[in-house]
Structure 1
Amino acid sequence: MTLSVTHTDASAGRAQAQLALWVGAAVYALLLISGNRLLNDPDTLWQITVGQWIIDHRAVPEVDVYSFTMRGAPWMSTQWLAQVAFAAAYRIAGWTGPVVLAAAAIALAFALFARMLSRHLRDSTTLVFVVAAFLLCLPHLLARPHVLAFPILVAWIGGLIDAADRREAPPFALVLLIALWANLHGGFVFGLFFIAPAALDALVNADASARRGLALRWALFAALALVASWCTPYGWNALLASQKILSLGQALPLIVEWKAADFQGLGPFEICLLIAIGFALLHGFALPPVRILMLLGLLHMALAQARAAEILALVGPLVIAAPLARFSGTAPVPPVAGSPRALAAAVVLALGAGTIASMSMLSYAPNMRGTPVAAVTELKRLNLTRVLNDYDFGGYLISTGVAPFIDGRTELYGEKFFVDHNAASGLMEPDNLFRLLKDYDIEATLLRTQSAATKLLDHVDGWQKVYADDIATIHLRKPGARHVVEPAVQSRGN
């Protein structure tokens, strides 16, 4: 009987490893084929520009060196390591580099995700969670620093939950992950906060006699993790920088990815949520109290901020995996030494060969459909230095060497500056537009052609429209300009 059980566990362990391997390979291949989708965010441009600056100067930025409104103001790039990685990948292979790097990180995250779930759940159930998580993460799968932190997020949370399931403290070596995470992305703060509920879960379920010693080990682990998070070029200031982002107040809801979840149209989030509620009601699935608090906290984050849906997608299933396995009667499968390393090596080599082969067939480039390429070319010809730009244009301006008024580094500009700019460009407060134009001695504006501010400047004396296309319009400060019913576009020769 012992031999039979051992063989079964070994077979299950190998199947577990193979499922994770195939999930990772499938995700990587899919992202490589649709690689241009990873370059759909204009923020990728300035992230690479900052990474190139760090490589060239062999230092991390301490102050802003890009905008003209905040130049010299204190600014920390807490994503510096990810920016360097993307910049190095771009130098080596052009836009193929960031695509491959992002796809590999995402694939690794989903492979780890599948591996951790399959230790508790059947393959079919694991695949359901993998597909749901991929769909929820899809809108935010972009070549940006956060995706390089995805594997660490999964490994870190998986390690904490596994320790809680075993009613033990996590291995101290796990704190190395938080040190790496703190240099890749500000989301490491979430990882630190998650220690508390994981520790509480372990303590609640531990024997009363063991709780004091267990609490001390968790407290020591938390202290080591906190110290490890200071292992960045900025020290503990990296924590302060992350807190600065979270304290942007009224500015956060104005940024698309920080907006609350929108259920006006049926989407993956609502579908997954309804299916989960239906399953729990139909089968009477119950969670331990602390796991309920964890899940509700993750759900609150996802409802409050659209970008947190990916955290719910990758963390939520790890939280409920062990209770769900107990509910369904599935025995946990322990990790087995001797996983199919030869198969893994063969798959990785095949993916590498496929990547090299695809470079001659697939070409990658950022989506410039909404980018003011032609307008910025004209703007540079005018040789202006003080330009009021649309928020979404800031990243492209940085990448082309033009100092923006504002860009995606919202924590640099602060809540009031960002809110005032938004109110000015949208004419929620028209006086704000004229105040910004005056206070910052603006020489020209580069705003979306369909924006309210652009339409107003078409009819304001002292501003001449000198360029316009479907994306952006340039208005030049010109004291002698007089508005007409249909403003004339000054020709390039005039």
Structure 2
Amino acid sequence: MTISISHAEAPTHSLRALLPLWVFLAVYVLLLIAGNRLLLDPDTLWQVTVGQWIIDHHAVPQTDVYSFTMHGQPWISTQWLAQVMFAKAYAWAGWTGPVVLADLAVAATFALLARFLIARISESASVVFVSAALALTVPHLLARPHVLAMPFTILWIGGLIAAADRREAPSLLLLPWIVVWANLHGGFVFGLMIIGPIALDAVVRADAALRKPLLLRWAAFALAALIASFCNPYGWNALLAAAKILNLGSALPLIREWHAPDFSHLGALELCLLLGVGLALYRGVKLPPTRILILLGLVHMALAQGRAADVLALVAPLVLATPLAPQIGGSNGIAFDRVASRTPLFAGVALAMVAGTAAFASVHRFEPDMRSSPVAAVDELKKLDVARVFNDYDFGGYLIYRGVPTFIDGRTELYGEKFFVDHNAASGLMEPENLFRLLDQYHIQATLMRTQSAATKLLDHMDGWQKVYSDDIATIHLRKAGALHTREPAVDPKAK
């Protein structure tokens, strides 16, 4: 009887062990079909541009070369490797390249998450966690550096959690993941910071006699991880630059992706949180205190900043899997080594993916969404031969892509809190005097602002500024002595 049961379970275990592969394929196909959605963010344009600069100059940037307001000021790109990868992909296959590269990274992320979960909890529970994580991250799944870093988030934090589950210190073999992460995206700072809470979880739940030596081993690993993160072209400056973004103070709430989530309409985050609370109440779920603290910290981050929802989505399942296994159904172990021997299967899947991608790309054109970019306006702007243009913040990425020096762009850490806030107050006319001051202080020759912006409407009434181009997206005003306002009433910026 025992022999017959083991033979019956073997195929089932083997099929369950293939869940990460099916997740990889499903996510890849889904995002490939919706590929242009990965190109919705105009920041992708300047990421590719910076990557090509690095390739052309065989060096990473040390100072700003894209704006006229901060030209020559210290600026480093903590995302240099991702930018090079996107630039290479673009050079090789046009916009299909960045789409496929980002798609592969996202698919790999969820496959790794599924692999971690299926080794600890049931197949159905794993699918639920993966589906919830996908729903939470969809708004931020874009062809940008953070997406290429996502698989390493799973590898790094998953490795830390696995060590804590065993009441052990992490293996030094994890260190290459933080090295790669530190060269792909500034989010590696979070990877370093989370070592402390996970170490606390491991130490608190270990036997009393083992706590002190275990704490010392975790401390040694944390120090090694910190040193390993310096393995990038900028050394420890990359850590300081990444932290600088978090210290932008009042500027952060003004950036769309840093906004706190809006709960006026039911969204994925609210739905997942409500279902999670409902499950906990219904099943009487219990967690170790340290895991509760980590989970609450992740939830707080997601509630404070919308972009942290993907951190909650990817890390929370790793934190919850082992404690929940006895309560929602464990996996009874998975033999991944057997799956690894199925080379023909994986080779066939890879060939099918390549063929399918090539076929789809041949009939579907991948390109950024230019409906909100000032394409025609910049064409006209280039004819004016002006070098100092006051631009809308959202136009900065496109201007870098077109080779037009920017007043401001998405590299907020370069401009700093005060500059960003002043520009926002000027363009939105929260402080109209800021607009007049910035136009004079930086000797602005022309403005390129959204047609419906408050600053554009005001310039329509100002003598000395001539509207030379306007469409549904952008309007250009040219500084011109003697130019008369086009609408009543006139506004004299020099009037007291």
Q: What TM-score results when the alignment is normalised by the length of structure 2?
A: 0.96
**Matched residues in 2 for 1:357 and 1:221: separation?**
47
Q: Which runs of 5+ in 1 are unaligned?
A: 488-494
Which residue is 2:494 aligned to?
none
Residue 150 in structure 1 maps to residue 150 in structure 2: yes
For 1:460, the equivalent position in structure 2 comes to: 462
Which secondary structure does the structure 2 equivalent of 1:359 belong to? helix
Query: Secondary structure at the residue paired with 1:483?
Result: coil
Q: Is the 8 A contact 2:123 2:331 kept in 1?
A: no
Q: Which residue of 2 aligns with 1:263?
A: 263
Q: Which amino acid in structure 2 is aligned with residue 206 of structure 1?
A: A
Count of residue pairs brought into register by the alignment: 488
Counterpart for residue 200 of structure 2: 200
Residues in 2 aligned to 1:294 and 1:335: alpha-carbon distance in whole angstroms = 30
Residue of structure 2 equivalent to 1:424? 426
Cα deviation code 1:138-191 (max 9, x no counterpart): 000000000000100011111111111111111111011000000000000001
2:50 paired residue number: 50
Q: Which moved more, 1:279-288 or 1:52-61?
A: 279-288
- For each residue in 1:424-451, what CA deviation from the matched residue of structure 2 results, as whole angstroms up to 9, or x when unmatched? 0000000000000010000010000000
Task: Please identify, of 83-92 and 211-220, the stretch whose mean Cα deviation from structure 2 is larger.
Answer: 211-220
> Shift of residue 338 of structure 1?
2.2
Q: Which residue of 1 aligns with 2:493?
A: none
* Deviation (angstroms), 1:205: 1.1
Moved more, 322-331 or 402-411: 322-331
- Residue 396 of structure 2 aligns with which residue? 394
Partner of 1:41: 41
What letter is aligned with 1:462?
Answer: G
Which residue pairs with 1:163 in the alignment? 163
Query: Does 1:474 find its partner at 2:472?
Result: no
Distance 2:206 2:295 in 1: 21
Between the aligned partners of 2:424 and 2:9, the Cα distance in structure 1 is 59
Contact 2:121–2:329 (8 Å) recurs in 1: no
**d(CA) in 1 for partners of 2:356, 2:88:** 21
Q: Deviations over 1:322-378 (max 9, x none)?
A: 111122342541553221343222212211111122221111000000000000000
Distance 1:206 1:16 in 2: 31
Residue equivalent to 1:490: none
| DSSP 3-state at the match of 1:367 | coil
- 1:337 counterpart SS class: helix
What displacement does 1:207 show?
Answer: 1.1
Distance in 2 between residues matched to 1:162 and 1:4, nearest whole Å: 33
Counterpart Cα distance in 1 of 2:344 and 2:112? 18
The percent of aligned pairs where both chains have the same amino acid is: 66
Mapped to 1, the partners of 2:389 and 2:231 lie a distance apart of 38
Task: Classify the secondary structure of the residue corresponding to 1:474.
Answer: strand
Q: Which residue of 2 aligns with 1:217?
A: 217
Deviations 1:298-329 (A, max 9, x none): 00110011000001001111111111112234
1:85-139 deviation per Cα after TM superposition (whole angstroms, max 9, x unaligned): 0000000000000000000000000000111111112111111111111111000
Q: CA deviation at 1:283?
A: 1.3
Q: 1:192 to 1:252 in 2, by over 3 A?
A: same
d(CA) in 2 for partners of 1:223 and 1:284? 39
Q: What are the within-5 Å matches in structure 2 for residues 111-122 of structure 1?
A: 111-122=111-122
Question: Please, which moves more after superposition, 476-485 or 290-299?
Answer: 476-485
Secondary structure in structure 2 of the residue aligned to 1:360? helix
Deviates more, 1:39-48 or 1:212-221: 212-221
Match of 2:445 among 437, 440, 443: 443
CA distance in structure 2 between the aligned counterparts of 1:34 and 1:414, rounded to whole angstroms? 35
User: C-alpha separation between the residues in 1 aligned to 2:309 and 2:128?
Assistant: 17
Aligned residue identity for 1:299: V
1:371 aligns with 2:373: yes
SS in 2 for 1:69: coil
Provide the secondary structure at the position in 1 that maps to 2:336: coil
Matched to 2:326, the amino acid is R
Q: Give unpaired runs (5+ residues) of structure 2.
A: 490-496
Alignment partners' CA distance in 2, 1:170 and 1:422? 45
1:66 aligns with 2:44: no
Query: In the alignment, which of 352, 355, 374 is matched to residue 354 of structure 2?
Result: 352
**Partners of 2:52 and 2:259 in 1: CA distance:** 31
Q: Residue 175 in 1 paired to residue 179 in 2?
A: no
Q: What residue number does 2:292 align with?
A: 292
Q: How far apart are the structure 1 equivalents of 2:103 and 2:227?
A: 31
Equivalences for 1:278-357 in 2 at 5 Å?
278-339=278-339, 340-357=342-359
How far apart are the structure 2 equivalents of 1:397 and 1:190? 31
Provide the rounded CA distance (Å) in 1 between the counterparts of 2:409 and 2:84: 20
Indicate if the aligned counterparts of 1:9 and 1:333 stay in contact, CA closer than 8 A: no
CA-CA distance at 1:215 after TM superposition: 1.5
SS where residue 117 of structure 1 aligns?
Answer: helix
1:369-411 deviation per Cα after TM superposition (whole angstroms, max 9, x unaligned): 0000000000000010000000000000000010010000000
User: In the alignment, what sits opposite 1:236?
Assistant: 236
How many Å separate the matches in 1 of 2:99 and 2:116? 26
* CA distance in 1 between partners of 2:165 and 2:9 (Å): 19
* Cα distance change, pair 433–14 in 1 and its aligned pair in 2 (3 A): same
User: What does residue 492 of structure 1 align with?
Assistant: none
